[in-house]
Amino acid sequence: MIALLTGMLSTAVLAGGVLALAALGEVLAERVGVTNLGVEGLMSLGAVIAIITVVATPNPWLGLLAATMAGAAGGMVFAFATVIVRANQVLCGLAITFLGLGLSASIGHDYAGVPSPATFGRVPVPGLSSLPIIGPAFFGQNLPIYLIYLLLPALAHWVMFHTRHGLAMRAVGENPAAADAAGLPVTALRFWYVTLGAGLAGAAGGYLTLTYVPVWSEGLVAGRGWIALALVIFAGYRPFGATLSGLLFGLITALSFVGQARNWPIAPAFLNMLPYLGTIAFIIVPVVVWHRMRRIMAAPAALGVPYHRDVR
């Protein structure tokens, strides 16, 4: 039982890390008022670029860096279309998803089934990692896990809610016209935060193939990008909310693994549906049950609306 719980929690932290990273990226983009529906494609691109990089140079950090750059490059293309040209965000997001999925499958064709030659190894924290149950899960993981669960969300939270720059960033997402009138660079803020968010989506894809599923195959991302998008809503557009909801969904994923390992009398297909059904339940139930949630978890007011200075 202890071994089972330990294993489950370890899987949850790993699986949740992928979602948490992608969701954190999307929080950044949506806080400046841009919905990037391309997360799924950007993650796919990051996943394949990470594998290709570590096949060439067996260094997982280089792989993660390359995945981040690939995501950011895709994000710049998206940001050019949606922030500078101000084209429809839903369309461009879907287009980036199609492009990312198609491109990654095309360039990853020769790498399908090749196991990642280098992955992030476990780096146990002395002492803490031998704690029962939570030790191996939280202190016996690879290094990027601390980046994902602590450093990045803490940094994003501090910048977003405790600095002048963060105020500017949120203002651009709430009321770009007012922000513009106050002299804030609306276009630049939107462009760079969308790019940064997309970079994190690419990194999430790279993290997926460098730790959790260390082999490339088409359709590998399997909707994790879309789950991450839903988590942003569930997280109330907050960095630590994204991290925690990522962990929660990691737990649901781990539950389906446990079910398969222990031969629960449920077909694996149904256990595999759990993360998707869970996500749907988690974005519907809170709004239905508790109406105040709508205000607490409200989206940035200008989310999805392109900003034209000359049109009111």
Partner 1 sequence: MAGSLQRQPTVTPARRLAWRAGAVVTALAITTLFLALSGRDPRLLADLVVRSTVGSRFGLEDLALFLTPLLLTGAAVTVTGRIGVWNIGAEGQFYAGAIGATAIGLFLPGPAWLVLPLMAASGIACGMGWILVPALARAYAGVNEIITTLLLNFVAGLLTTYLAVGPWHDRVTGALASTGRLPVRIPEIWGVVHWGFPIALVIVLALAWLTTRTRWGYQITIGGANEQAARYAGIPVRARILGVMLLSGGLAALAGVFEVAGTVHRLQGGLANNFGYFGIVVAVLARGSCLNVLPAALLMAFILNAGIVLQTQQLTGSAVLAITGLVLFMIAIADELAHYQPVTVRPATVAPVTVGKEARP
Q: List residues binding partner 1 (CB under 8 A).
A: 37, 41, 81, 85-88, 90-92, 94-106, 109, 218, 222-223, 226-227, 229-230, 233, 267, 269-270, 272-273, 276-277, 279-280, 283-284, 287-288, 294, 308, 310-312
Going by the DSSP 8-state scheme, the letter that residue 215 receives in this structure is B
Q: How far is the CB of 289 from partner 1 (least distance, A)?
A: 10
Contact at 8 Å (CB) between 242 and 231? yes
The full length of the chain comes to 312
Q: Which C-beta is closer to partner 1: that of 6 or that of 272?
A: 272
Q: Which C-beta is closer to partner 1: that of 87 or that of 131?
A: 87
Q: How far is the CB of 110 from partner 1 (least distance, A)?
A: 10
**C-alpha distance from residue 57 to each of 54, 63, 176, 214 (Å):** 5, 8, 44, 15
Q: How far is the CB of 74 from partner 1 (least distance, A)?
A: 11
Q: Can you point out the beta strands (E) in 174-271?
A: none
Q: Which C-beta is closer to partner 1: that of 62 or that of 297?
A: 297
Q: How far is the CB of 168 from partner 1 (least distance, A)?
A: 25
Q: How far is the CB of 12 from partner 1 (least distance, A)?
A: 20
Q: Which C-beta is closer to partner 1: that of 68 or that of 279?
A: 279
Report how far residue 46's alpha carbon sits from residue 204's, in angstroms, rounded to the nearest whole number. Answer: 7
**Sequence-ordered list of residues with C-beta below 8 angstroms from that of 309, at least 6 positions apart, any chain:** 177, 180
Q: Which C-beta is closer to partner 1: that of 90 or that of 155?
A: 90
Q: Which C-beta is closer to partner 1: that of 17 or that of 278?
A: 278
Residues 36, 40, 43: CA angle, nearest 5 degrees: 105
Q: Which of 214, 224, 216 is nearest to 107 (CA)?
A: 216
Beta bridge partners of 115: 215
Q: How far is the CB of 42 from partner 1 (least distance, A)?
A: 12
Contact at 8 Å (CB) between 223 and 40? yes
